[in-house]
Structure 1
Amino acid sequence: MVSALLSYIGSKLRNNGKARASASDLLWSFCGMFAAVMALGIMNLHVRSWPVVGEWHQQGLGLLLGSFGTLCVLIFGRPEAEAVRVWNLLAGHVIATATVLTLLHVLGPSVFSRSLAMAAMITAMLATDSVHPPGGALVLMAVDSAAIQRMDWWFMLYPSLAVTIAVLLPLGIAVNWLKRNVKFDFPADATSAPTSTSASPPLVPLVMPTPPPSPPSTPGLRPKLA
């Protein structure tokens, strides 16, 4: 049992032959993530003076939601993931926010309503094939944030959905276009050519010829001693 568990953990820790990211993928992911977080940070500095939504931010609503961190990692790090399909982005967001807001109206903020909202959210996402990991962060934030609860149903549209459509999604599309069309990689490692050496002729073992057997000696006459 223990060996099987260790073998399973080891298989998950290994790379399993997955090719490393190219230099262009690293660069465009870096640029996309930097631009997205920089844009959110600049918006957060001035959002309190915006019309309509500025009042919510003056009451404690933050623009840099934790769900944006998860979403940026998916968009710029794993754009091929199913979780960042347009359907998952839209349906998953609506399911998460609608579920938690409904339960907050019915049960109020509590440990039970938080747990029930998370369980109902993942069930609805699986049933509609719209699993969206940032939705879990939205549920947890809504239960624990008085500023979000004051927004009530407007939280379904702002800030998560509006900022995703206006900022993160266009940046993700641009970065993915660059990854597909502007590709380059690190220079290949220079392999030194093998030094050519003149092949020495094989050593031929010296075999000493076996001398022919000497003919049997005939017994000579031996003088007879008196």
Structure 2
Amino acid sequence: MGLQNYLLKPPAPVSSSAPPLNSQLIVHSCSNIYSCKSNKKQTKLCNLVTSLGLHSHDGKRFTSVRRKGELRIVASSSSSSSNVPAPFWDSWAPQKGTQAPSLSDIFWPSAGAFAAMAILGKIDQILAPKGISMTIAPLGAVCAVLFATPSAPGARKYNLFMAQIGCAAIGVIAFTVFGPGWLARSSGLAAAIAFMICTRAVHPPAAGLPLLFIDAPKLHRLNFWYALFPGAAACILLCLIQEMVCYLKDNFKF
């Protein structure tokens, strides 16, 4: 306590007109804030407190935030974990505070994925004489996003169709400019990610569409029709199945 009292002292009252310290890091209802003047000696000691993972007397962890020449120490409770960067190893464990899924939460998304691939397989049989297919690998990832995490940003219809159409077109352009090979793959993937970020339509499965087009000779003859078929066209069917899966999950629990 002697070192802690030497380092940390309550901050001066801040007027309501002053900008917030950092709304992403501090929630005043569940955090205690201390500060120390930013001279070299005390800054090193404050950094030592946070780097060692020391906790306050009530079990809260110290983290440091710098503002206008002052180093502030934030003692945040575990309930505000979303506001404080988690330790590196936390990403290797299941998310805390989530309940185990029920049997219906597992069954309905899995059944939806089975139905989606079965329907697309039947469509493939019809399209087989033309040498094209509706069942492509990225659609498996689309099923996982739409059925297992329907509330995730990647499952938004805007993200889904904007990314599917845009990334597929980028794959065609990359192949046209660079031909088959590593340069087309790398530039196509980079451009697809940049496109999704710029349009705020991040949909991870769509990143595989440029690679699929470049490495699949049977798709080359589609040219820019590849932007609509098979990815975007199949996603219409998957969105319809998603609505059924969500309805069944909400109304038929077991």
Q: TM-score, normalised by structure 1?
A: 0.69
Instruction: Give the counterpart letter for 1:109 in structure 2.
Output: P
Q: Return the structure number with greater strand share.
A: 2
Which has the higher Rg, Structure 1 or Structure 2? 1
Q: Which has the higher contact order (CA 8 A, sep 6+)?
A: 1
Give 1:133 deviation, angstroms. 1.3
Does the CA contact (< 8 Å) of 2:154 and 2:201 recur in 1? Answer: yes
Is 1:181 the equivalent of 2:251? Answer: yes
Give 1:15 deviation, angstroms. 3.6
Is 1:156 the equivalent of 2:236? Answer: no
Aligned to 2:198: 127
Please identify, of 27-36 and 169-178, the stretch whose mean Cα deviation from structure 2 is larger: 27-36
- State the SS of the aligned residue for 1:93: helix
> Which blocks of at least 5 consecutive residues in structure 1 are unaligned?
50-54, 185-226
Find the aligned partners of 1:111 and 1:79 in 2 and give their Cα distance: 34
Deviation by residue 1:47-91 (Cα, 9 ceiling, x = unmatched): 224xxxxx2x2xxx3332001110111111111111111001111
Find the aligned partners of 1:160 and 1:15 in 2 and give their Cα distance: 32
Q: What percentage of residue pairs aligned between the two structures are identical?
A: 30
Counterpart among 110, 115, 122 of residue 42 in structure 1:
122
Find the aligned partners of 2:120 and 2:204 in 1 and give their Cα distance: 20
Q: TM-score, normalised by structure 2?
A: 0.62
Give 1:10 deviation, angstroms. 4.7
Does the CA contact (< 8 Å) of 2:165 and 2:227 recur in 1? Answer: yes
Give 1:137 deviation, angstroms. 1.5
Q: Report the number of matched residues.
A: 170
Instruction: Give the counterpart letter for 1:164 in structure 2.
Output: C
Does the CA contact (< 8 Å) of 2:188 and 2:210 recur in 1? Answer: yes
Give 1:139 deviation, angstroms. 1.0
Aligned to 2:92: 12
- State the SS of the aligned residue for 2:142: helix
- State the SS of the aligned residue for 2:207: helix
Counterpart among 146, 151, 154 of residue 80 in structure 1:
151
Find the aligned partners of 1:91 and 1:159 in 2 and give their Cα distance: 14
Does the CA contact (< 8 Å) of 2:166 and 2:227 recur in 1? Answer: no
Aligned to 1:202: none
Instruction: Give the counterpart letter for 2:244 in structure 1.
Output: A
